[in-house]
Amino acid sequence: MPETDHRARHVAIIMDGNGRWAKKRHLPRVAGHRAGVEAVRKIVRAAGDLGLEALTLYAFSSENWKRPEEEVSDLMGLMKRFIVSDIDEFAANDVRLKIVGNWRALAPDVVALIEDALARTAGNKRTTLAVALNYGAQDEIVRAARAAAGEGAITAEAIEAHLDTADLPPLDLLIRTSGEVRLSNFLLWQAAYAELYFTDRLWPDFTPADLAAALDQFARRERRFGGL
């Protein structure tokens, strides 16, 4: 029988629209990214209250290096400030930080900040905030397949065990803001049977109420997982 009236445990979000948010207001792109960070804070605070065990956010893709150098620098600076300023709040709210993607290839000062934040929040249990940094799903699958091959047979189960998200609940719902309707190399394996939710809302305008509405729609959907 189809599964109905269910609660999402793991939600992922493609946070799209910062640049268009800034352009509409005749502001530089970095202003949109700053507003996007504030939206992240609100959504992370709401995640635990909404019962989410895991929230995965697409913060910086492996393709984002193609953006102008100044914008990449601004994004990295915002990310560092977010980690430094919010780590105490993570601890206070029992939020565990997790990073997915090839984050160890980032600048040494960024890696050091991340390692400290991971260590300080490792014992937190209420909600896991997984931030995708220098992440690409195709690269993740290749890395997982190589790791599986090094241990023996390459099976779906073996690959899944080596994905960056292996210690998180299965992905239930993937949200993309700003009206775009593509996955953009994000959680391609994990999204195989996830529900998809697209909204025209630009990311800086996405609120906890919007997240609650997406979760409410999810709870009313029938999940068939390939069955009848």
Q: Which are the catalytic amino acids?
A: 16, 64
Quick one: 209 exposed, middle or buried, by C-beta within 10 A (0-12, 13-18, 19+)?
exposed
Q: Which residues contact 25 (CB under 8 A, 6 or more apart)?
A: 31
Phi then psi for residue 3, to 5 deg, are -85, 130
CA distance linking residue 5 with residue 13, whole number of Å: 22
Quick one: 65 exposed, middle or buried, by C-beta within 10 A (0-12, 13-18, 19+)?
exposed
Q: Residue 195 pairs with which residues in a beta bridge? A: 173
Rounded to the nearest 10 degrees, the angle between the axes of helix 208-220 and helix 29-49 is: 50
Sign of the dihedral defined by the CA atoms of residues 87, 203, 67, 136, in that order: positive
Strands, sheet with 173-176, edge to edge from the N-terminal-most edge strand: 95-100, 127-135, 54-61, 10-14, 173-176, 195-198
